[in-house]
Structure 1
Amino acid sequence: MGFVIIAIMAVGVVLILTGKVPTAFALFLIATAVALVAGATIAGEENSLLTTVYQEGAVTLASTMIAVLLGSWLGSLLQETAIASTLVRKTVEFGGDRPVVVALGILVVSALCGSVTGSAPAALLAGVIGIPAMIAVGIPKVTAAGTILMGIGAGMPFELPIWQFFSTALDLPIPQVRAFMIWLFPFAAVAAIAFVLIESRRRGSVHEWTLAGAGARTRAPSRRERLGDAPWYSLLTPLVPILLALVLLVPIIPALLAGILFAVATTTRPSKWATRLLRSLYDGFDAAAPPITLFLAIGMLLAAVGLPGAVSTLGPIVEAITPTNPIVFVLVFTLLVPLCLYRGPLNIFGLGAGIAGAMTATGVYSPMAVLGLMASYNQVFGVTDPTSTQTVWAAQYSGVSPQQVLVRTLPYVWVVALAGIIVSAVIHL
């Protein structure tokens, strides 16, 4: 029966990779099939398809869904209040005609945006102005796109919805998740800086900003445009939830709410607060809907692989094929890094969630070891995956292909994953 479950997951990988079935729907089908094979009854109070998998599984990641919505809401406010665009413009003005300084500044802004909302919204916030500005001062197009994505990767260890996701999915307290993310951050930051310093000098300068189908040359913002800048103190908004959660140990959802209130209070007249909050919340719903749908299906999959029948049959197989020696652990899982790309089986926001759930449910690895593994893979997926929205957008907006960005960024984030896996092996194996 265990091999049947593995075969079901393999079929699911094929469905996801070929794009014949949307990821969320494929995960729902996998969860259903795994539950039935594991001996779940159709209905009943315990270990049933309708109650355990569908009803309870769907809300397993409810706190993560709320955190994602709040992060999207805050990201919408960063755009609407011009906080993000002001950060980018000030960075470009400071960098002047020094390409590397401009790119490093945009990298920092991307990291701040990535820590707030992550993925496509962060790429848009930092990239709409940042990418043409970098290309205009001579940064190669692939490097400009990669800088935005590497910046998002550098901010990812402090993305609070990610903390909540790993905490819920792996049944870990937030302080333990936070502790590993602090370990991971320096590696992601150093890799991002190295990318800018090395890749910005790889090729000759390109001084003309060209979008696919457009040939407009970038110009400096006019005085009228600059008058729309957000107040300087509002630029601290991305740091507010991070500092609250990291330093003052405020729970994630209140920390994100505090960031939302700070953004509104520092940029909007009190009489307009309600209108701005409501409008930006609606925009946040649009951005949050796809990941929330995915988290519904992931919760069902986690519930299915956690059923007693699945655990008892998968346990011996998982134990037989997974390395427990720290050195072998590092070598094997580092070589498997590409399997988190193209919605592969080790993508934590796909079938990788089920694999992580099986690893912890069967007791082969401790939840912290699985956290280290999957968080390291997420650093790769979040930056280089040519099927992810942020990679596709950044590449196309820069006038290059997602595959070109993959080739340039993969060596750097692969090293980040290696470092994270080593830390996980040393501390938690």
Structure 2
Amino acid sequence: MGLVILLVMAAGVAAMLTRRLPTAFALVLLAVAIALVSGAPLTGKESVLQTVLQDGAPALAATMIAVLLGSWLGKLLDETGIAGTLVRKIIEFGGDRPTAVALGVLAVSALVGTVTGSAPAAMLAGIIGIPAMVAVGIPRTTAAGTILMGIAVGIPFELPVWQFFSTALELPVPTVRGFMIKLFPLALVAAVLFVLVESRRRGVEHAWAFRPATAKPASRRAKLGDAPWYALLTPVVPLVLALGLDVPIIPSLLAGVLYALVTTTRPGGMNKRLLRTLYGAFEVAAPPIALFVAIGILLAAVKLPGAVEALQPLVEAVSPQNAVLFVLVFTLLVPLCLYRGPLNVFGLGAGIAGVLIAAGIYPATAVLGLATSYNQVFGVADPTSTQTVWSAQYAGVTPQQVMLRTLPYVWAVALGGFCVTAATYL
């Protein structure tokens, strides 16, 4: 039975890789197939309809709400001009010094990445940041990679990501936060090295030669002027509350939303802006929310007693227990989190993580280390991820070119994460 489940998983990966099915739909079908193969009944206790579909769909509800609030805050950063002001100030400070400009845009990308991930974060920092970097001589591929590496620096402090790993792996938020803090310096060092090394490559271009693949007209705020200086603190507000004052994630994000509204909006226009940005946030959040519904369903399926019993001996046989082998094996497997591969935590990787925990192969904290380390790679170098595609196309290069430039750096981050995991949890 275990081999049949593995074949079903392989078929699911093939469907996602070949884009025959959207990832969310493929994961749901995969979950139903795993449940049926493992002998789960259609109805009743530990069943397909009740346990997998009914209970699994809302399992990550807290993560979905956090994603929606993060998207809402991202829309506010865009509409109010906060993100654009941050980027423009950094560019003004950097002047015509390419490395200084790139490091400044990297810092803004990291700050925005703590609020909202994926394409929205790339757009907020990249719409102004990428042309500015190219204008002072940063190669196009490096400009796109700088945005992505900056977002990766922010990922360890992205509150919706904390909520996702906390719920999916059934770990307390402080435990997730603790490992993310350890991951942060690794991501920061890799990002700074990327800028210092890659910005020195040949291929200088100037503003007159820059033709982004998708241009965006200037926002209303950009025409009116910069956001107030105190409004620029908006991305920091949720972090201070969640990290410094131990406020729960959803209230922290709500506080950020309210702070952005109060510091940038006149009382008469607050209602309109509040509703307009909220409705826009639903559009941005819809794809990841659909994915989290599917991941919840998949996690419910792989945790069924029949699935755990079938998969445990197989997974145990190929999972290294020695700390050194643990690091070596999972470092070599890094490419499997690319192209929506089986170790992508926002795909089949979530199911594999569930199996590792449910079968008792590794403690949940070790699986957290694996998943978050792989996520640092996926968030930057995967040519199918939305932020990578947008950044590459806007810079006028291909996602594969960005992958080749960034992969060595984020691979090193993953290696560091595995070392920390092995030393701490094994």
Shorter-chain TM-score: what band? Answer: over 0.9
In the alignment, the residues of structure 2 paired with residue 321 and residue 134 of structure 1 have an alpha-carbon distance, to the nearest angstrom, of 45
Q: Which residue number in structure 2 is paired with residue 315 of structure 1? A: 312
What's the CA shift string for 1:3-56, capped at 9, x where partnerless?
Answer: 111111011011110111110000001000001111111111x20111100000
Secondary structure of the corresponding residue to residue 58 of structure 1: coil
Q: Which residue number in structure 2 is paired with residue 177 of structure 1? A: 176
In the alignment, the residues of structure 2 paired with residue 138 and residue 2 of structure 1 have an alpha-carbon distance, to the nearest angstrom, of 55
Is 1:134 aligned to 2:128, yes or no? no
In the alignment, the residues of structure 2 paired with residue 244 and residue 143 of structure 1 have an alpha-carbon distance, to the nearest angstrom, of 34
In the alignment, the residues of structure 2 paired with residue 211 and residue 13 of structure 1 have an alpha-carbon distance, to the nearest angstrom, of 36
Is 1:296 aligned to 2:282, yes or no? no
Alignment TM-score, normalising by the size of structure 2? 0.97
Q: Which residue number in structure 2 is paired with residue 402 of structure 1? A: 399
Residue 271 of structure 1 and its aligned partner are, at CA, apart by: 2.1
Code of the residue aligned with 2:16 in structure 1: it is I
Q: Which residue number in structure 2 is paired with residue 33 of structure 1? A: 33
Secondary structure of the corresponding residue to residue 245 of structure 1: helix
Is 1:11 aligned to 2:11, yes or no? yes
In the alignment, the residues of structure 2 paired with residue 213 and residue 107 of structure 1 have an alpha-carbon distance, to the nearest angstrom, of 21
Is 1:239 aligned to 2:236, yes or no? yes
In the alignment, the residues of structure 2 paired with residue 111 and residue 331 of structure 1 have an alpha-carbon distance, to the nearest angstrom, of 29
Residue 214 of structure 1 and its aligned partner are, at CA, apart by: 9.0
In the alignment, the residues of structure 2 paired with residue 34 and residue 77 of structure 1 have an alpha-carbon distance, to the nearest angstrom, of 41
Is 1:102 aligned to 2:109, yes or no? no
Residues 225/19 of structure 1: CA separation in 2 closer, same or farther (3 Å cut): closer
Is 1:328 aligned to 2:325, yes or no? yes
Residue 226 of structure 1 and its aligned partner are, at CA, apart by: 6.7
Q: Which residue number in structure 2 is paired with residue 350 of structure 1? A: 347
Residues 213/264 of structure 1: CA separation in 2 closer, same or farther (3 Å cut): closer
Residues 62/225 of structure 1: CA separation in 2 closer, same or farther (3 Å cut): closer
The 8 Å contact of residues 213 and 395 in structure 2, kept in 1 or not, is answered as: no
Q: Which residue number in structure 2 is paired with residue 287 of structure 1? A: 284
Residue 213 of structure 1 and its aligned partner are, at CA, apart by: 6.5
In the alignment, the residues of structure 1 paired with residue 380 and residue 284 of structure 2 have an alpha-carbon distance, to the nearest angstrom, of 19
In the alignment, the residues of structure 1 paired with residue 162 and residue 289 of structure 2 have an alpha-carbon distance, to the nearest angstrom, of 15
Code of the residue aligned with 1:14 in structure 2: it is A
Q: Which consecutive residues of structure 1, in runs of 5 or more, have no partner in the other structure?
A: 216-220
Secondary structure of the corresponding residue to residue 116 of structure 1: coil
In the alignment, the residues of structure 1 paired with residue 223 and residue 303 of structure 2 have an alpha-carbon distance, to the nearest angstrom, of 55
What's the CA shift string for 1:371-411, capped at 9, x where partnerless?
Answer: 00010000000001001111011001101111110000000
Residues 123/214 of structure 1: CA separation in 2 closer, same or farther (3 Å cut): closer
In the alignment, the residues of structure 2 paired with residue 373 and residue 339 of structure 1 have an alpha-carbon distance, to the nearest angstrom, of 13
Secondary structure of the corresponding residue to residue 84 of structure 1: helix
Code of the residue aligned with 2:168 in structure 1: it is A
Secondary structure of the corresponding residue to residue 165 of structure 2: helix
Residue 204 of structure 1 and its aligned partner are, at CA, apart by: 3.9
What's the CA shift string for 1:162-190, capped at 9, x where partnerless?
Answer: 00000000000000000000000000011
Residues 418/90 of structure 1: CA separation in 2 closer, same or farther (3 Å cut): same
The 8 Å contact of residues 393 and 399 in structure 2, kept in 1 or not, is answered as: yes
The 8 Å contact of residues 84 and 222 in structure 2, kept in 1 or not, is answered as: no
In the alignment, the residues of structure 1 paired with residue 29 and residue 82 of structure 2 have an alpha-carbon distance, to the nearest angstrom, of 42
In the alignment, the residues of structure 2 paired with residue 207 and residue 76 of structure 1 have an alpha-carbon distance, to the nearest angstrom, of 30
Is 1:187 aligned to 2:176, yes or no? no
In the alignment, the residues of structure 2 paired with residue 316 and residue 145 of structure 1 have an alpha-carbon distance, to the nearest angstrom, of 43
Residue 275 of structure 1 and its aligned partner are, at CA, apart by: 1.2
In the alignment, the residues of structure 2 paired with residue 282 and residue 422 of structure 1 have an alpha-carbon distance, to the nearest angstrom, of 43
Secondary structure of the corresponding residue to residue 96 of structure 2: coil
Q: Which residue number in structure 1 is paired with residue 70 of structure 2? A: 71
Q: Which residue number in structure 2 is paired with residue 218 of structure 1? A: none
The number of equivalent residue pairs is 422
Residue 348 of structure 1 and its aligned partner are, at CA, apart by: 0.3
Residue 227 of structure 1 and its aligned partner are, at CA, apart by: 4.6
